[in-house]
């Protein structure tokens, strides 16, 4: 089937993935493979902007990519999976684009301001140049489509602007990517208040065993007004119910909605049902993960081949860029 274009997306290496990563990104990554040529990149250089301890980057890269592959990201279908720093042309393009990146604009980006607030003791250049490196990531592969959640829209807009500026000055070399807004539900953690995140330890890992899933789901906060088993509940404020809507068959969701409101079901039972569906949903993932991890080189081989294929595109584009800019050729 003729593909609609080329998708690029990057994610920081964060180790084992959780349900929030899965619902927010990974399942979109998997689905996009049907219609697009996909390039998925582990952006390890980006990770350096905020990490104090970089010694676990290799382990986190391995674990994250293993989860991606187990979830259905499939190099056999032509998808390129690679590590950003393995294709160093991105740093060259970053330097070239930085010469036309408007400093005032970078300083005003809300994400930069937020990072300055979060880590005032380490306001490094990388934080400011982050959107320029991101633009280089995307432009280096002439990606036509970038999946984004609403919160990353300003960064992609910056990429589009810098590509337009480059093409205006140097000719139509780079491709202006289109945003593909993806449905990214705000997945709350088991505390029922904050976004699911490892740092808050409110997450459920995809690679958890059934026992671990039961234990984590059992800890989930429900409707706070439902103090006793006999109190009617409000599914609309309950995070367990939000998860039912994703993982439980619709007929059963309707029944749970009714039973919760009439105190016909207790929260313990309700959670047990959800955990059962989640475990079932993740069973193929767990099996694939176990199988792939039997060969400790598998992930690194996929990444090596991904870098090789990415380099073919990157080498050509960086040459076009240098030529357009007028840098003297090495003879
Ligand atoms: S019965 Fe289910 S939906 Fe209702 S409050 Fe308890 S956990 Fe939430």
- Active-site hit among 3, 180, 198, 322: 198
Q: What is the mean pLDDT of residues 229-236?
A: 96
Q: What is the CATH number of the domain that holds 109?
A: 3.40.50.620
Nearest-CA residue for atom 6 of ligand 1: 267
**Residue 254 annotated among the catalytic residues of the structure:** no
Q: What pLDDT, on the 0 to 100 scale, is given for residue 52?
A: 72
Residue 235 has pLDDT above 90, yes or no: yes
Q: Indicate the top mutation candidate among 217, 225, 227, 267 to test ligand 1's pocket, ranked by most ligand atoms within 8 A of CB.
A: 267
Q: What pLDDT, on the 0 to 100 scale, is given for residue 270?
A: 98
Q: Are both 251 and 317 inside the same structural domain?
A: no
Nearest-CA residue for atom 7 of ligand 1: 267
Q: For a pLDDT cut of 70, what percent of the chain falls above it?
A: 99
Q: Is residue 73 part of a domain?
A: yes
Residue 239 CA: which ligand 1 atom is closest?
8
Q: Are both 160 and 250 inside the same structural domain?
A: no
Q: Indicate the top mutation candidate among 190, 243, 270 to test ligand 1's pocket, ranked by most ligand atoms within 8 A of CB.
A: 270
Residue 223 CA: which ligand 1 atom is closest?
5
Q: How confident is the model at residue 152 (pLDDT cuts 50, 70, 90)?
A: confident
**Residue 322 annotated among the catalytic residues of the structure:** no
Q: Is residue 204 part of a domain?
A: no
Q: What is the CATH number of the domain that holds 226?
A: 1.10.240.10
Q: What is the mean pLDDT of residues 243-267?
A: 97
Q: What is the 3-state secondary structure (H, E, C) of the chain?
A: CCCCCEEEEEECCCCCCEHHHHHHHHHHHHHHCCCCEEEEEECHHHHCCCCCCCCCHHHHHHHHHHHHHHHCCCHHHCCEEEEHHHCCHHHHHHHHHHCCCCHHHHHHCHHHHHHHHHCHHHCCHHHHHHHHHHHHHHHCCCCCEEEECHHHHHHHHHHHHHHHHHHHHHCCCCCCCEEEECCCCCCECCCCCCECCCCCCCCCECCCCHHHHHHHHHCCCCCCCCCCCCCCCCHHHCHHHHHHHHHCCHHHHHHHHHHHHCCCCCHHHHHHHHHHHHHHHHHHHHHHHHHHCCCCCHHHHHHHHHHHHHHHHHHHHHHHHHHHHCCCCCC
Residue 182 has pLDDT above 80, yes or no: no
Q: How confident is the model at residue 195 (pLDDT cuts 50, 70, 90)?
A: very high
Q: Are both 41 and 66 inside the same structural domain?
A: yes
Q: What is the mean pLDDT of residues 233-259?
A: 97
Separation of 251 CA from ligand 1 center, angstroms? 16
Q: What pLDDT, on the 0 to 100 scale, is given for residue 65?
A: 98
Q: How confident is the model at residue 230 (pLDDT cuts 50, 70, 90)?
A: very high
Q: What pLDDT, on the 0 to 100 scale, is given for residue 143?
A: 98
pTM to 2 decimal places: 0.94
Q: Is residue 200 part of a domain?
A: no
Q: What is the mean pLDDT of residues 17-40?
A: 95
Q: Is residue 202 part of a domain?
A: no
The pLDDT tens digits of the residues spanning 50-88 come to: 877 788 999 999 999 999 999 999 999 999 999 999 999
Q: What pLDDT, on the 0 to 100 scale, is given for residue 62?
A: 98
Residue 210 has pLDDT above 90, yes or no: yes
Q: Which domain covers residue 38, as residue numbers?
A: 6-187+296-325
Q: Indicate the top mutation candidate among 238, 245, 272 to test ligand 1's pocket, ranked by most ligand atoms within 8 A of CB.
A: 238
Q: Are both 239 and 310 inside the same structural domain?
A: no
**Residue 113 annotated among the catalytic residues of the structure:** no
Q: Are both 32 and 146 inside the same structural domain?
A: yes
Q: Are both 156 and 44 inside the same structural domain?
A: yes
Domain count, the chain: 2
Q: Are both 21 and 161 inside the same structural domain?
A: yes
Lowest mean pLDDT among 18-32, 148-162, 243-257: 148-162
Q: Are both 64 and 148 inside the same structural domain?
A: yes
Separation of 236 CA from ligand 1 center, angstroms? 9
Q: Is residue 183 part of a domain?
A: yes
Q: Are both 316 and 285 inside the same structural domain?
A: no
Q: Is residue 154 part of a domain?
A: yes
Q: Is residue 308 part of a domain?
A: yes
Q: For a pLDDT cut of 90, what percent of the chain falls above it?
A: 86
- Ligand 1 shell residues, CB under 6 Å: 222-223, 226, 233, 235, 238, 240-241, 260, 265, 267, 270-271
Q: What pLDDT, on the 0 to 100 scale, is given for residue 59?
A: 96
Q: Is residue 175 part of a domain?
A: yes
The pLDDT tens digits of the residues spanning 76-133 come to: 999 999 999 999 999 999 999 999 999 999 999 888 998 899 889 889 899 999 999 9
Q: Are both 25 and 117 inside the same structural domain?
A: yes
Q: Are both 50 and 103 inside the same structural domain?
A: yes
Residue 157 has pLDDT above 90, yes or no: yes
- Active-site hit among 4, 113, 195, 254: 195
Q: Are both 244 and 311 inside the same structural domain?
A: no
Q: What is the mean pLDDT of residues 177-199?
A: 89
Mean pLDDT over the full length of the chain: 95
């Amino acid at each position: 089937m003729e593909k609609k274009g080329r998708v690029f997306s990057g994610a920081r290496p964060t180790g084992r993935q959780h349900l929030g990563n899965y619902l927010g990104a990974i399942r979109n990554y998997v689905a996009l493979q049907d219609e697009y040529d996909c390039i998925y990149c582990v952006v390890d250089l980006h990770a350096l902007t905020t990490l104090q301890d970089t010694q676990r980057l290799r382990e986190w890269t391995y674990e994250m990519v293993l989860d991606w592959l187990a979830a259905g990201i499939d190099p056999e279908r032509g998808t390129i999976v690679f590590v950003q720093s393995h294709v160093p042309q991105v740093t060259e393009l970053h330097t070239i684009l930085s010469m036309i990146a408007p400093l005032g604009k970078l300083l005003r980006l809300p994400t930069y301001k937020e990072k300055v607030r979060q880590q005032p003791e380490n306001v490094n250049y990388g934080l400011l140049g982050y959107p320029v490196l991101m633009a280089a990531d995307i432009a280096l592969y002439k990606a036509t489509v970038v999946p984004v959640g609403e919160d990353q829209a300003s960064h992609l807009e910056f990429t589009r602007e810098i590509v337009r500026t480059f093409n205006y000055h140097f000719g139509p070399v780079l491709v202006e990517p289109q945003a593909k807004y993806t449905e990214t539900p705000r997945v709350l953690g088991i505390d029922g208040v904050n976004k699911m995140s490892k740092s808050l330890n409110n997450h459920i890992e995809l690679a958890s065993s059934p026992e671990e899933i039961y234990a984590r789901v059992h800890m989930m906060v429900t409707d706070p007004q439902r103090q006793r088993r006999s109190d009617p509940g409000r599914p609309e404020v309950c995070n367990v119910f939000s998860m039912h809507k994703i993982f439980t068959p619709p007929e059963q969701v309707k029944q749970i909605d009714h039973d919760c409101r009439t105190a016909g079901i207790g929260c313990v039972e309700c959670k047990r049902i959800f955990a059962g569906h989640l475990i079932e949903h993740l069973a193929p993932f767990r099996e694939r993960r176990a199988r792939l991890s039997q060969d400790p080189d598998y992930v690194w081989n996929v990444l090596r081949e991904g870098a090789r294929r990415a380099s073919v595109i990157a080498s050509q584009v960086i040459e076009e860029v240098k030529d357009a800019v007028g840098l003297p050729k090495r003879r």
